[in-house]
Amino acid sequence: MLNRGSGVTLWRQIEQILRREIAGGGVIPGGRLGTEHELAHRFSVNRHTVRQAIAGLREAGLVDVTQGRGIHVAESPLEYPISRRTRFSENLGRQHRTPGGRLIEAVVVSASVIVAEALEIAPGQQVHKLKTVGEADGRPVSVVERHFPAGRFPDMADRYRETGSVTAALAAHGCTDYERRVSRVTARLPDAEDADLLGLSRRRPVLVVESVNADRDGLPVEHAVARFVGDRVQLVFEPGNDLG
């Protein structure tokens, strides 16, 4: 398999072989490349030699190496463009990923201080709370919790259930256009429920995006808090997009 004394070091030969296997699709993204021990056995070399080869792949961003987990072929992150016209659910279609979503919860509650402030209503007012899980390729990528003023959008939950779309449900209430005002981004570890919904270990971070959408008149329409799987999602902010 390997060529000792050929003028090419063993680790570079191994790196090349693995590169070809990854490029050729021999191992699917997210799949295991095998443990260092296995690879060392396979190529009949020392573990250190394998490690040097892997270091090259890691440098090139072709694999993810995690202590205790193993060596995995890197997945191209889900790009999630965010601009004035971002619609959370309708965002993944462009990337040849099959989007999807399911409703977790739809209730009417009284607005917390934060929500009330964002929606510019009085605290304690009734708001619709919708919680959905967004999926790509059948795997969950986001948990979104939205709040809508119940006064202006009385049938929000029903309309959403009928159409499966926030945009459509808002349109059914006469709000045909809206755009994103601010996005606030933080990172933290998921709580038990989010970890469960996202199929995530509690040790792996989530990206938290808090946003407010407002209609043409500048009146807030929706307050949303989305949690994304941190290392599978890349939020892309492109100022230029906002102008279009």
Residues in contact with DNA by the rule CB under 7 A: 5, 7, 9-12, 34-37, 44-46, 48-49, 51-52, 54, 65-71, 189, 192, 201-203
Q: Which does 176 bind (CB under 5 to 8 A by kind): a second copy, DNA, none?
A: none
- Tokens describing residue 143: 């948990």
Q: Which does 6 bind (CB under 5 to 8 A by kind): DNA, a second copy, none?
A: none
Q: At what angle do helices 10-23 and 36-43 cross, to 10 degrees?
A: 110
Close Cβ partners of 195 (under 8 Å, ≥ 6 residues apart): 201, 202
- Tokens describing residue 178: 């809206």
Q: How far is the CB of 223 from DNA (least distance, A)?
A: 25
Close Cβ partners of 234 (under 8 Å, ≥ 6 residues apart): 77, 78, 79, 80
Q: Rule CB under 8 A: which of 45-84 touch a second copy?
A: 59-61, 77, 82-84
Which CB, 83 or 167, lies closer to a second copy? 83
Q: How far is the CB of 148 from DNA (least distance, A)?
A: 26
Q: How far is the CB of 33 from DNA (least distance, A)?
A: 7
Q: How far is the CB of 53 from a second copy (least distance, A)?
A: 18
* Per-residue DSSP letter, 201: -
Q: How far is the CB of 143 from DNA (least distance, A)?
A: 17
Residue-wise burial string across 98-137, b where 16 or more C-beta atoms lie within 10 A, e elsewhere? ebbbeeeebeeeebeeebbebbebeeeeebbbbbbbbbbe
How far is residue 179's CA from residue 85's CA, in Å, rounded to a whole number? Answer: 5
Interface with a second copy: number of residues (CB under 8 A): 39
Binding mask 178-207 for a second copy (x = CB under 8 A): -xxxxxxxxxxx-------------xxxxx
Q: Which does 158 bind (CB under 5 to 8 A by kind): a second copy, DNA, none?
A: none
